[in-house]
Amino acid sequence: MGGSASLIPRDLLGEYQELTFLSKQEILLAYKRFSELLPKEERENACSARVPKSQILTLPELRANPFQHRICHVFSTSETRDDSMSFEDFLDMLSVFSDSATSDVKSHYAFRIFDFDDDGTLDRKDLEQLVNCLTGQGEESRLSRAEMEQLIQNILEESDIDKDGTINLSEFQHVVSRSPDFASSFKIVL
Amino acid sequence: RSEKLFLQAETEHLSRWKKWRRASNKSLKKALSEIKGLSSYLVLWRHDIHSIEGKFGTGIQSYFSFLRFLVLLNFIIFILMFSFVTLPTIISKYGIFNSTVAYISPKNIEDICTVYEPSGNKGLVYFYTYLKDLLSGTGFLELTSLFYGYYSIDAVWISVMRYNLPLAYLLATFAYLALSFLWIIKRSVEGFKHNLVHDADPFQSYCNKVFAGWDFCITDPNAARLKFRSLQYELQTDLQEEKLKQKIAERTMEEKLRIYSLRIFINIIVIAILSGCFYSIYRVTVFSQENSNDVDNPNSQVNLLVQYLPSMVITLANFLGPLIFSFLIRFEDYTPAFEIKLTLLRCVFVRLANIGVLLFSLWSQISDCASDKCKPCGYNYKLYPVSRFILICFPWELLVTHCSCKLVQLFGHKEFEISDNVLEIIYGQTICWIGTFFSPLLPAIATIKYFIIFYVKKIVLIHTRKPAARPIRASSSNFFFLVVLLIGLLLAFVPLGVSIAHIPSSKACGLFKNFSTSWEVIPDTILQFPTGLQQVLFGMASEAFAVPFFVILCIIMFYVIALARAHKRVVEQLREQLVLESRDKMFLIRKIAEAQRYP
């Protein structure tokens, strides 16, 4: 632990603490895990290196997650759109998923993760893909057509307030604020 | 980067006072987060619960957090009772700190009544006797600090201070009951808030299941597979239930008649079974009490078996009851969710009512003794079987749960049934609350017991293969555990209240030798206060104060309820407004589109 502390300069550490919801130990632990994903030669400047998506997906916290690709896509700031993540992207992700993040921030990012076609609203196709992610990837684990229709109808009835057939960000945030399980399930702790 | 520049720009415009305040706020926050970081290492079982969460999800993790809460609660109750009751007694008995003991001087009682010897330990003592005494809590154990009989002193003098032990005992009892009550309420407030403001059942809504359905904490691919299956099963069950509800709404008159008469019939059967249970417990307890005082052969194994008989019967009833109920409810044709709730309710009722019947039958024995002038360790002797009951119950509970686990495994189910596990724990905790009054070191035993149960259940969980048929959600389960625990606590108030205030205490042993009931210590102490204070206290206890106080409380409660209802109505109105707004928006967009087409 002492070794990795000396590799992040102190003012940078303080800055990260101010800008994210993470505590000092959490940032140091994140640094340690991030540098383990890099090949040995690049570990010296882990702060400025980028880790390819395939490496990120080997993290135990992400490998069992059906939303792993969406998470990498949403938090990656890569200009080449290859979903690779830098250390600051990684911290960003951990900050949103941490215990102390506000539910506003969490619901904002949850909306972006669930918006599979990136068009700013959750329409029927997005909801269908979401439910398929939840029930598993095999053919026999999907819901039947009729069940899917009934389920999406119920979801829209509960959350689509302006009745336009899609869920926008504020409707999503409203329905999630009433959901008692959201805060405890939308959480990743290293 | 850009956020840092933004912060810098902001700071330049602030005055010196505001800068200082901001800097001190930051350092305070840093200090607090350091403390929080350090204290997170002190949390019990942090790593175990985290790994359970990763493997099995937050639903099952909430059960283990509940266990941890109970361990802490019992530990604190133990510290409370130990430091206020046991410690002064031990200090005075061994003469540390220059303390002396004032023994209670009995008044107006014949000498023979004041001496109590625990049965038959004179002369040759065999190892077997010790073992039997250990198992049944009689003999040498009676006079240890485990049981009430140890605390037979009136006051402890430490240097020049007089420490009134009976008062301390009673007040410590009230303190631990109040502490448990407040702590449970504090923990359950969160779940309750949701229920009050939002009408639709928030735990079961589809949005909650879909948007908050996936546990991002899961790290194990096997657990993820289990979670997929359970989510799929849950969604399908809910959709089926909705279709079933529609079908129920379309039932014809004669079908309804048939089903209602069937339900009434089954409820009568349930009541008959329950009364059979209670009657058998009553008879067995009476039989056991009568025959265990058999002085002729106090060392026989039959005697031991007879003493264990009530607890065996109760454990049997608790085991068979749920099985019978889950069999019967299939005929009543309810929706699956309601079936589970009703079965659970019936099981809770059976377990808690069994304790009630046991206590009732023990008390009926005591009132028979009222005619005797002389009761060696009187009601305490009769009622401390309750605390022995807990010691005895512990090995039985473990035995029966594991036997039933094995039995169920024989039939191929390998589920981790949360509700059953929770009910057992709450049952044990209720007995612990009742028993602590008679046996001050009981919370320590309960703490150790829950400690062991944590590790046992963890091992059982790891060997489970099937996901639970009805997946439990974290928020609803937290609330459910705490509500049932609260019911147990309120039920524990009843026997304690009756025994403190009503039942005459023994003259030969215990703290309340000089008082007719245990409660009398308090009026006695108040009479020693200065007159002014006495009048205030008596005034508070009189009707002239109590009735207006009650009326004011009712008014406050009605005000708060009316406020909540008004908030709900405002929420509804705002939702309707939103719908209208969007319609206006659609209208305007159409108008714009038309205007653009025909310029």
Together in a domain, A108 and A156: yes
Residue B477: inside a domain, yes or no? yes
Together in a domain, A91 and A114: no
Residue B191: its H or E element: helix B165-197
Together in a domain, B85 and B116: yes
B239-274 per-residue burial string, b: 16 or more CB within 10 A, e: under 16: beeeeeeeeeeeeeeeeeeebeeeeeebeeebeebb
Together in a domain, B25 and B143: no
- Selecting from B3, B33, B58 the residue whose C-beta is nearest the C-beta of A185 gives B58
| The domain boundary residue, chosen from A66, A97, A128 | A97
A45/A82: higher pLDDT: A82
Residues B184, B316, B456: CA angle, nearest 5 degrees: 55
A144, two tokens: 């039947």
| The domain boundary residue, chosen from A51, A74, A97 | A97
Which chain A residue has its CA at the smallest distance from B228's CA? A135
* CA B95/CA B91 separation, integer angstroms: 6
Q: How many domains does one find in chain B?
A: 3
- Selecting from A130, A133, A187 the residue whose C-beta is nearest the C-beta of B217 gives A187
Residue B584: inside a domain, yes or no? no
Indicate the DSSP class of residue B204.
Answer: T
Together in a domain, A21 and A60: yes
Model confidence at A127, in pLDDT bands (50, 70, 90)?
A: very high
pLDDT of res. B37: 66
Residues B355, B360, B365: CA angle, nearest 5 degrees: 130
Together in a domain, B33 and B165: no
Stretch 128-147 of chain A: residues touching chain B, C-beta under 8 Å: 130-131, 133-136, 141, 143, 147
B369, two tokens: 């003794």
pLDDT of res. B325: 85
Q: Given an 8 Å threshold on Cβ–Cβ distance, is B194 in contact with A180?
A: yes
Stretch 34-53 of chain A: residues touching chain B, C-beta under 8 Å: none
Q: How far is A61 from chain B (nearest CA, A)?
A: 5
- Selecting from B34, B211, B242 the residue whose C-beta is nearest the C-beta of A176 gives B211
Together in a domain, B146 and B239: yes
CB A146 within 8 A of CB A153: no
What CATH number is given to the structural domain containing A28?
Answer: 1.10.238.10
Together in a domain, B345 and B478: yes
B227, two tokens: 């979670």
pLDDT of res. B506: 58
Residues of A in contact with B30 (CB under 8 A): 17
**Interface with chain B: mutation pick from A15, A57, A128, A134, highest number of B CBs within 10 Å:** A134
Together in a domain, B131 and B145: yes
Together in a domain, A115 and A167: yes
Pairing of strands B153-158, B161-164: antiparallel
Residue A2: inside a domain, yes or no? no
Q: Given an 8 Å threshold on Cβ–Cβ distance, is A161 in contact with B582?
A: yes
* CA A118/CA A113 separation, integer angstroms: 9
Domain hosting B11: range is 1-42
pLDDT of res. B299: 57
pLDDT of res. B591: 85
* CA B478/CA B480 separation, integer angstroms: 5
Residues of A in contact with B36 (CB under 8 A): 23
Together in a domain, A88 and A32: yes
Residues of A in contact with B585 (CB under 8 A): 162
Residues B526, B529, B535: CA angle, nearest 5 degrees: 75
Residues B132, B137, B139: CA angle, nearest 5 degrees: 70
Closest CA to B165 of B443, B533, B510: B510
Residue B594: inside a domain, yes or no? no
* CA B564/CA B195 separation, integer angstroms: 11
Q: Which long-range contacts (CB under 8 A, 24 or more apart) does A27-34 make?
A: A27/A91, A28/A1, A28/A4, A29/A190, A30/A87, A30/A90, A30/A91, A30/A94, A30/A190, A31/A4, A31/A7, A31/A87, A32/A1, A32/A4, A33/A59, A33/A190, A34/A87, A34/A90
Together in a domain, B8 and B116: no
Together in a domain, A76 and A113: no
CB A152 within 8 A of CB A128: yes
B39, two tokens: 């204290």
Please state whether B98 falls in left (phi above 0), alpha (psi between -120 and 50) or beta. Answer: left
How many A/B residue pairs have CB atoms within 8 Å? Answer: 146
* CA B128/CA A10 separation, integer angstroms: 69
A24 touches chain B (CB under 8 A): yes
Residue A135: inside a domain, yes or no? yes
Model pLDDT for residues A14-43, shown as the tens digit of each residue = 888 888 888 888 888 888 888 888 888 777
Residues of A in contact with B580 (CB under 8 A): none
Residues of B in contact with A184 (CB under 8 A): 58, 474-475
Q: How many domains does one find in chain A?
A: 2
Q: How many CB atoms neighbour CB B229 within 10 A?
A: 16
Residues of B in contact with A111 (CB under 8 A): none
Together in a domain, A91 and A109: no
Please provide residue B115's backbone torsions phi and psi, each rounded to the nearest 5 degrees.
-105, 125
Together in a domain, B433 and B468: yes
Q: Is the pLDDT of residue A55 over 80?
A: yes
Together in a domain, A18 and A61: yes
CB A56 within 8 A of CB A62: yes
* CA B242/CA B245 separation, integer angstroms: 5
Together in a domain, A77 and A107: no
A79/B198: higher pLDDT: A79
Q: How far is A143 from chain B (nearest CA, A)?
A: 7
Residue A4: inside a domain, yes or no? no
The residues, ordered by sequence, that sit 6+ positions from B346 with a Cβ below 8 Å of its Cβ are B270, B321, B325
Mean pLDDT, to the nearest integer, of A54-81? 88
**Interface with chain B: mutation pick from A92, A128, A181, A190, highest number of B CBs within 10 Å:** A181
Q: How far is A43 from chain B (nearest CA, A)?
A: 22
B221 touches chain A (CB under 8 A): yes
The residues, ordered by sequence, that sit 6+ positions from B9 with a Cβ below 8 Å of its Cβ are none
What is the sign, positive or negative, of the torsion defined by CA atoms of A53, A58, A61, A67? positive
- Selecting from A131, A164, A178 the residue whose C-beta is nearest the C-beta of B582 gives A164
Domain hosting A121: range is 103-186
- Selecting from A23, A151, A181 the residue whose C-beta is nearest the C-beta of B473 gives A181
Residue whose tokens read 């395939």: A54
Residue B587: inside a domain, yes or no? no
Which chain A residue has its CA at the smallest distance from B32's CA? A23
* CA A1/CA A107 separation, integer angstroms: 33
B236 touches chain A (CB under 8 A): yes
Mean pLDDT, all residues of chain A: 85
Residues of B in contact with A15 (CB under 8 A): 4
pLDDT of res. B268: 92
Mean pLDDT, to the nearest integer, of A102-115? 92
Q: What interhelical angle do B127-136 and B301-328 show, nearest 10? A: 30
A178 touches chain B (CB under 8 A): yes
Together in a domain, B455 and B548: no
Together in a domain, B236 and B295: yes
> What is the Cα B316 distance to its own chain's centre?
22
CB B57 within 8 A of CB B467: no
- Selecting from A136, A147, A181 the residue whose C-beta is nearest the C-beta of B208 gives A181
What is the sign, positive or negative, of the torsion defined by CA atoms of A170, A171, A175, A181? negative
Mean pLDDT, to the nearest integer, of A57-82? 88
A163 touches chain B (CB under 8 A): yes
Together in a domain, A91 and A33: yes
B540-553 per-residue burial string, b: 16 or more CB within 10 A, e: under 16: eeeeeeeeeeeeee
What does chain B come to in residues? 599
ipTM value: 0.89
* CA B569/CA A151 separation, integer angstroms: 28
Cα separations in angstroms, B516 against B243, B364, B494, B502, B504? 64, 19, 20, 9, 5
Model confidence at A109, in pLDDT bands (50, 70, 90)?
A: very high
Residue A79: inside a domain, yes or no? yes
pTM for the structure as a whole: 0.68
Q: How far is B63 from chain A (nearest CA, A)?
A: 14
B112, two tokens: 């023979």
pLDDT of res. B413: 41
pLDDT in tens, chain B (599 residues): 556 566 665 656 667 888 888 888 888 887 887 777 666 666 778 777 777 776 666 667 778 888 889 999 999 999 998 888 888 777 777 776 665 666 655 554 444 444 444 444 343 444 455 555 555 545 444 545 555 555 656 666 666 677 777 788 888 999 999 999 999 998 888 666 655 544 455 555 788 888 888 888 888 887 788 788 778 877 887 888 788 888 888 888 888 888 889 989 999 998 998 898 888 888 887 787 777 655 455 556 676 677 677 777 877 887 788 888 888 888 887 776 677 777 777 877 787 777 777 767 766 665 554 444 444 443 444 444 555 554 555 555 555 555 555 554 444 344 456 666 777 788 788 888 887 887 788 888 888 888 888 888 888 777 765 555 555 555 566 777 788 888 888 888 887 887 787 766 655 555 666 677 778 778 878 888 888 888 888 888 888 888 999 999 999 999 999 998 998 899 889 888 877 887 787 788 888 888 887 76
